[in-house]
Every structure is written in C-alpha cells, then in structure tokens.
C-alpha cells in the first residue's frame, strides 16, 4: 500500500494486531463497520462484532449489520439492550446518550468476560469529538478504546478507507439511533420510537437516503406530535410531487402524527442539538 490513507490503514491494522482479541461495538454504521473490517485484516486478532438491539435500533439497521458482518465473515453476535427501561434515558434530557452508551458498555464488559476477549472497541472518529456527544464520557468511564481517534481518522478518511477495502457501505448515510429523533424533554417510549421508525421506513421505500423524522410534541398530550421530516437538499423538490407527497401524508397518518412538515433547511447533522443554546444559522437550500 502507498499514499496517506493506505498508510493510515496499515497503521490501524498493526494497532489492532497488537491487541490479541477484541469486542467491537458494531452498530452497522460506516465507522464501526470499517473498524470491524480492519480487524478482519489484522493477523492473529480474534474479533467479535457485538450489536445491541433495543427499540431505538431501526429494524433495517439490524438487517444491514447482519448482512455486512456475514459479507466479511466476521463473528457477529446480537445482544439485547435495555436502556429504554432507564429513567434517565426515558426522560430524554441532553445527556440521554450517556445513559444509552453506559448500558451498551456495561453489556460489553459482561460479554468481554463471557467471550474471553481483552479489549472493547468503538468506532468513534475524531470528527465526533467536535459535537456534543455525552456517550464519549461513558466510553471513557468504562475503559473503551477508540482506535480511529487514536490514529487520527476523520469521517472522510473512514469513508475513504472503507472504499479502499471494497466495502459497499462506504458512502452509507449516518444513521443515529431512533431516540435522537425525539425532541429533548419529550419522553422516549417504545410506541413513539415505533411511529418514527414506521414513517422513516416509508421514506426509505420511496427512495430517500439520509433522511430523518423528528418527533415534536404538538399539544398537551405528548403523543400528539408533529413529524418534521429532514431530507437531503436535492430531494426536497421530489417530496412535493403529488404522488410522493400523498404517500408521505398517508404514512404519517398511519403512524398517528397529528401534523407532518418538511424542513426547508434540509437534513443536517446536529440539528437535534440546536435547542441547547448554540447559535446556529439556517442555510438556504439551492
């Protein structure tokens, strides 16, 4: 290999080979998928990809994770996560991710002993360090390693490395958990997560990628809600074509949303955190 990304990938494989055995917290996203694939290239390394399943994981994401692990012949194991039962998680404050990741890493610690592996890894990259990510503190507290951070991989380099390895998901849009769709301060429930998942599934069936359905309370009853749909800028016009518009409205009605709207600012990462006091300007979609 030669070139900057090839050199970084070589360094990553060498780093992993020195660990002997690892449990990779594998969500099915590009970052953890790239890390798991790199583990498969590390000589002598025993690696297990662990996917935690809960109501906040979209069913399609589990299917995709399972298919990807099989495609690279990885040892993939699925476990149940119960963060939905934690009061701090249900309350959905700005620290919700801390409770989620704490649950994940506590499960990983149990499985590390059960499966006789030495290290727990996650797919955090250096770009993640610049956003509000309370889950990073949970990783620190539980001693979880972040190889992509230690070796200086940013998101673009992760995608470039994944492409170099021939991974079909190298350009897969980010896919945060379903709970990230529910406005801070609105309680997270299984039923609300299912409603978001149902509408997002319809958007995927309509051919949209990189979309989000944001759940906002729309009345004194928290179950009366507005669905704020974020789509890539290039897809906004198509969403308003008669056939697609009717399909979205029908799906929103089935999911029992009181109102449905399309965000003219389009999809942008971090929009969920905009209520936390940062001053953010809306970009005009061209």
Domain ranges of the chain: 4-171, 178-276
Given CATH 1.10.10, say whether it is the number of domain 178-276.
no
Q: What is the pLDDT of residue 270?
A: 54
Q: What is the model's pLDDT at position 269? A: 62
Structure tokens belonging to residue 151: 């070796």
For 173-207, write each residue's pLDDT tens digit: 888 899 999 999 999 999 999 999 999 999 999 99
Statement: residue 110 has pLDDT above 60: yes
- Does pLDDT of 282 surpass 50? no
Answer CATH for 4-171 from 3.40.50.620, 3.40.50.720, 3.30.499.10, 3.20.20.70:
3.40.50.620
CA 138 – CA 196 distance, rounded (Å): 26
List pLDDT tens digits, range 4-44. 999 999 999 999 999 999 999 999 999 999 999 999 999 99
> pLDDT band at 135, cuts 50/70/90?
confident
pLDDT tens-digit series, residues 219-270: 887 789 999 999 999 999 999 999 999 999 999 999 999 999 999 999 876 5
Pairing, β 212-217 against β 259-262: unpaired
Is 60 exceeded by the pLDDT of residue 274? no
Mean pLDDT of the chain: 91
Written as six digits, the tokens of 255 are 């999911």
What proportion of the chain, given as a percentage, has pLDDT over 90? 83
> Residue 283 has what pLDDT?
39
- The answer to whether 8 and 152 are in contact (CB under 8 A) is yes
pLDDT digits (tens, 9 = 90+) for 141-176: 999 999 999 999 999 999 999 999 999 999 998 888
Report the distance separating Cα 137 and Cα 158, nearest Å.
22
Instruction: Give the list of residues 6+ apart from residue 217 with CB closer than 8 angstroms, or none.
Output: 183, 186, 224, 225, 226
Cα(285)–Cα(93) distance, rounded to whole angstroms? Answer: 30
Q: What is the pTM of this model?
A: 0.86
**What's the average model confidence in pLDDT over 80-84?**
95
């Amino acid at each position: 290999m030669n070139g900057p990304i090839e050199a970084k990938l070589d360094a990553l494989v060498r780093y992993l080979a020195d660990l002997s055995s690892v449990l990779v917290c594998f969500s099915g996203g590009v970052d953890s998928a790239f890390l798991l694939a790199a583990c498969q290239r590390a000589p002598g390394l025993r690696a297990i990809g662990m996917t935690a399943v809960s109501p906040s994981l979209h069913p399609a994401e589990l299917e995709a994770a399972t298919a990807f692990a099989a495609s690279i012949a990885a040892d993939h194991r699925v476990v149940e996560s119960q963060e939905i039962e934690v009061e701090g998680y249900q309350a959905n404050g700005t620290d919700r991710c801390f409770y989620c990741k704490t649950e994940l890493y506590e499960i990983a610690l149990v499985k590390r002993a059960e499966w006789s592996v030495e290290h727990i890894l996650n797919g955090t990259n250096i770009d993640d360090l610049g956003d509000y990510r309370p889950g990073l503190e949970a990783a620190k507290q539980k001693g979880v390693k972040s190889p992509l951070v230690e070796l200086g991989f940013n998101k673009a380099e992760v995608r470039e490395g994944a492409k170099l390895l021939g991974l079909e998901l190298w350009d897969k849009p980010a896919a945060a958990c379903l709970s990230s769709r529910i406005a801070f301060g609105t309680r997270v429930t299984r039923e609300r997560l299912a409603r978001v998942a149902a509408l997002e599934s319809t958007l995927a069936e309509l051919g949209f990628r990189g979309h989000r359905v944001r759940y906002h309370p729309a009345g004194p009853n928290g179950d009366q809600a507005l669905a704020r749909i974020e789509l890539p800028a290039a897809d906004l016009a198509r969403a308003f074509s008669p056939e697609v518009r009717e399909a979205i409205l029908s799906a929103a009605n089935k999911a029992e949303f009181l109102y449905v709207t399309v965000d003219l600012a389009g999809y942008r990462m971090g929009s969920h955190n905009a209520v936390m006091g940062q001053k953010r300007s809306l970009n005009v979609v061209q």
